[in-house]
Chain A
Amino acid sequence: MGCSTTPRKEGISTSRLPEKPDVLVAKRHHLLVRWSHWLNVPILLGLILSGISIYWASPIYQHKSDPLTGNFDVAADIGIWICGHVPGLRHYSSPPDWVYNHLSLGPGMLAPALRLHWLCAYAFMLNGAVYVVGLISGGGWRGLLPRRTDLLDAFRMLRYYLGIPFAKLTRRQWPHPSFNTKYNALQRAAYFSVPLAGCLSVATGWAIHKPMQFHSLAAIFGGLDSARVWHFWLMWIFVLFAVPHVILVFADGWDTFRGIITGWSARVTRSEATGNER
């Protein structure tokens, strides 16, 4: 917490304004971007939980039904495997439902799941519009655009992340690559592709939801059935984004987390500061 280094010296009588070194902050995130960021948390949670309940009603990954159990759902197989191999779950009452009981609203919840999914889907589209307005009025969209140097810089970042455990073990210096841009190349790739995945999720969602009125939209994704496959894997992009996103914000520290709350970052590097003066 770089901001609380000044000890309070209330007793000094020479000045009623003790010398508190002011902090230099940079405006990083527009208010609307911050709002849409936080609203995405409950919306995406609702979409994923209800989405997996909808998936249960007609799984896209099926096999010939098992002659003993009658099971045909790959997600049920995964639940059976988990309950068979994870200690403490050996006596789980309904292994085929394990996945649905833990990652969705539960099996047999199609009607409430559809209702929640639609509510969250409309909220998600509105929230996406709020995000776009925030990106435009704050000028943040420029920071997300891919660059020519991104491929090389992405490799530098990857090498940095992969080298952290080794550097920790050998107690070696392992400095973070420096960039004079708002985001590093890996962040940019993520923050550019996730909104894109959001747009594709909305498009495939409409194709699945209204396959007759929007049949030409469904046709772009290869028809109703493959639009469902697209929609399913697009969900995983959000999951695969969110997990390292949350881990990295904790690893990166308080300033980054505070940045998406207040919009301000006190971590202003010299290169950024000089860049501002030019």
Chain B
Amino acid sequence: MNDNSRGFFGERPLPEFVVDPQVLRRRTRRDALLFGAGTVAALASARLLLPNAIRIDDEVAESLYSPRRTVPTYAKTQITPLKNNYNGATPDPGYIPGWHLTLDGLASGVSVALDIRSLLTHFSIHEQITRLVCVEGWSAIAWWAGVRFDDLLRAYSPMSQARWVQVESSVNLDASGNPDPYYVSLDLASARHPQTLLATHFNGQPLTVEHGAPLRLLVPVKLGLKNVKAITKLTYVAQEPRDYWAERGYSHYDGI
């Protein structure tokens, strides 16, 4: 039996000593009270820390981000179905013919309106098959094509102090079909990621209304809820702008 007590990994005999029973009793009472108080204090501080938990995790996510680290890409055989995940009702496609993208907060100081034709003709189109991950836990591998956000940023530079872009869709509806504009905050570092697209095509076809025709954001380093469908406006700002889901208790940065 002695093989247990030899060598570096061998179990050592427990240190033993003699105590007054009174000392043992007092120590038991003291330690039980201390651990009880410690656990209650931990629970109380958790209540205080809870609102900051998201901020802490946002900081962690931001420090994990690297513009050089790309997300995995997949083969066409690995594509999975992607459901229409509009938060509310799917908009009526009537907005599509008159659609244009407004750019605000540019270095030039004037706002710019682009239609889909000028986007498609002035920028090169990039294809990618990447995973879109929902905050709920499900994900889908889909085949996208579109303009690199970085190319748009180079062609229409934001004002120098801009660190964020607010991405908006004015055509978004709530569950009962009433207008419910959707807006998210996106840090410009993530917007400049080489795999961040302003997508125009899905599965080799122009986007359908279910997937955000004619232009949606595809930012695979973020949760799906940042991937705004039917974008109507991009506003470059210095301070972190409003975010639809952050206002509803979710995190702000959403880096995955």
Q: Are A268 and B16 in contact (CB under 8 A)?
A: yes
Give the distance in Å from the alpha carbon of A148 to the alpha carbon of B3 in the complex.
10
**What would be 9 A-B contacts, judged by CB atoms less than 8 Å apart?**
A3-B21, A27-B14, A111-B249, A112-B249, A147-B4, A148-B3, A211-B133, A211-B256, A266-B24
A115/B139 contact (C-beta < 8 A), A3-B24, A25-B19, A25-B24 known: no
Additional A-B contact list (20), CB under 8 Å, known A23-B20, A42-B46, A114-B135: A3-B25, A4-B21, A20-B21, A24-B16, A26-B14, A26-B15, A34-B35, A41-B39, A42-B43, A55-B137, A110-B136, A115-B51, A119-B53, A119-B56, A211-B131, A212-B221, A213-B64, A261-B35, A264-B19, A276-B16
Give the distance in Å from the alpha carbon of A140 to the alpha carbon of B13 in the complex.
11
Candidates A27, A55, A118; contact of B57 at CB < 8 Å: A118
Asked whether B97 is an interface residue with its Cβ less than 8 Å from the other chain, the reply is no
A224/B18 contact (C-beta < 8 A), A39-B39, A116-B53, A261-B28 known: no
**Nearest CB in chain A to that of B250: its residue:** A111
Asked whether B161 is an interface residue with its Cβ less than 8 Å from the other chain, the reply is no
Q: Which of A's residues lie within 8 Å of B, judged by CB?
A: 3-4, 6, 20-28, 34-35, 38-39, 41-42, 46, 54-55, 57-58, 60, 110-112, 114-116, 118-120, 122-123, 139, 142-143, 145, 147-148, 180-182, 208-215, 224-225, 228, 258, 261-266, 268, 272-273, 275-276
B115 → chain A closest CB, angstroms: 32
Q: Are A210 and B50 in contact (CB under 8 A)?
A: no
Q: Are A115 and B256 in contact (CB under 8 A)?
A: no
Give the distance in Å from the alpha carbon of A165 to the alpha carbon of B42 in the complex.
40
Q: Which of B65-73, B120-128, B147-155, B234-242 contacts its partner? A: B65-73
Q: Are A272 and B14 in contact (CB under 8 A)?
A: yes
Give the distance in Å from the alpha carbon of A180 to the alpha carbon of B4 in the complex.
10
**Nearest CB in chain B to that of A31: its residue:** B31
- As a 0/1 sequence over residues 8 to 32 of chain B, the CB contacts with chain A under 8 angstroms (1 = contact) are 0111111111111110110110011
Instruction: Please name the 7 residue pairs, one residue from A and one from B, whose CB atoms are nearest each other, closest first.
Output: A111-B249, A58-B137, A119-B53, A57-B136, A26-B14, A58-B136, A213-B64
Q: Are A22 and B50 in contact (CB under 8 A)?
A: no
A19 → chain B closest CB, angstroms: 12
Give the distance in Å from the alpha carbon of A236 to the alpha carbon of B63 in the complex.
32
B66 → chain A closest CB, angstroms: 8
Asked whether B61 is an interface residue with its Cβ less than 8 Å from the other chain, the reply is yes
Q: Are A215 and B12 in contact (CB under 8 A)?
A: no
**Nearest CB in chain B to that of A21: its residue:** B21
Candidates A60, A119, A213, A273; contact of B49 at CB < 8 Å: A119
Q: Are A23 and B24 in contact (CB under 8 A)?
A: yes
Give the distance in Å from the alpha carbon of A116 to the alpha carbon of B54 in the complex.
9
Give the distance in Å from the alpha carbon of A44 to the alpha carbon of B57 in the complex.
19
B75 → chain A closest CB, angstroms: 14
Q: Are A213 and B38 in contact (CB under 8 A)?
A: no
Q: Are B21 and A213 in contact (CB under 8 A)?
A: no
Give the distance in Å from the alpha carbon of A264 to the alpha carbon of B27 in the complex.
10
* Residues of A contacting B72 in the complex (Cβ-Cβ under 8 angstroms): 212, 215
Give the distance in Å from the alpha carbon of A131 to the alpha carbon of B42 in the complex.
16
A39/B71 contact (C-beta < 8 A), A181-B4, A276-B16 known: no
B74 → chain A closest CB, angstroms: 11
Which among B14, B61, B133, B255 has the greatest number of chain A C-beta atoms within 10 A?
B14
Give the distance in Å from the alpha carbon of A55 to the alpha carbon of B39 in the complex.
27
Q: Are A22 and B46 in contact (CB under 8 A)?
A: no
Give the distance in Å from the alpha carbon of A63 to the alpha carbon of B49 in the complex.
38
Q: Are B28 and A262 in contact (CB under 8 A)?
A: yes
Q: Are B64 and A210 in contact (CB under 8 A)?
A: yes
Asked whether B105 is an interface residue with its Cβ less than 8 Å from the other chain, the reply is no
A237 → chain B closest CB, angstroms: 20
Candidates A119, A143, A258, A273; contact of B50 at CB < 8 Å: A119
